[in-house]
Amino acid sequence: MNHYKCTVCGYTYRPEKGDRVRDIEPGTSFEKLPEHWRCPTCNQFKMAFTEIDSH
Feature table: binding site? 6, 9, 39, 42
| Helix, strand or coil, per DSSP, at residue 5 | strand
CA 54 to chain centre: 13
Residues tagged in the binding site annotation for Fe cation:
6, 9, 39, 42
